[in-house]
Amino acid sequence: MNKNITIVIAEDDEGHAYLIKRNLGKAGVVNPIIHFKDGEEVLNYFSPFSSGEKTISHVGYIILLDIKMPRIDGTEVLEKMKSDPVLKKIPIIMITTTDAPAEVELCHKLGCNSYIVKPIDYEKFIDVVKKLGYFLEIVEIPNAG
């Protein structure tokens, strides 16, 4: 994966965030990773880019976004980012335990690039994250700026 890509994990469950980081590393992903515990932190981080205070043309981001988070949930983060002319280019992968068809459809309608259901089973969860890591190694991600 391009080393100029920063992976943003928005996940309120510390254990899940740790497993995601650890298993992305096991899959060969060496990119910088930023972890936020709620949607408000994600939006605060990206707001200077949206307002033009900071430019992100030299760097790319990909966001792994949980739905069920405190303060501002993942679907609201997705909606706000995909409706912004600068931030909408950032790929957002929903990674959540919610597999309800209405939720999956809503996220795709709002513009998510992919939707991954976190299995409850520990070993299956590890396997899913490793596969995500392999996917991130080959995907091309645009610069947002």
Report the C-alpha gap between 54 and 118 in whole angstroms. Answer: 33
User: Alpha helix (H) ranges present in 51-121?
Assistant: 74-82, 101-110
Res 127: pLDDT: 78
Res 118: pLDDT: 79
The answer to whether residues 35 and 93 touch, using CB atoms and an 8 Å cutoff, is: no
Is 5-138 in CATH node 3.40.50.300? no
Domain boundaries, given as residue ranges, for the chain: 5-138
Res 30: pLDDT: 84
Report the C-alpha gap between 70 and 118 in whole angstroms. Answer: 18
Q: What is the pLDDT along the chain (145 residues), one digit of tens a residue?
A: 556 788 899 999 998 899 889 888 888 888 899 999 999 999 999 987 776 666 665 568 889 999 999 999 999 999 999 999 889 989 999 988 888 999 999 999 999 988 988 777 767 777 777 777 767 665 666 554 4
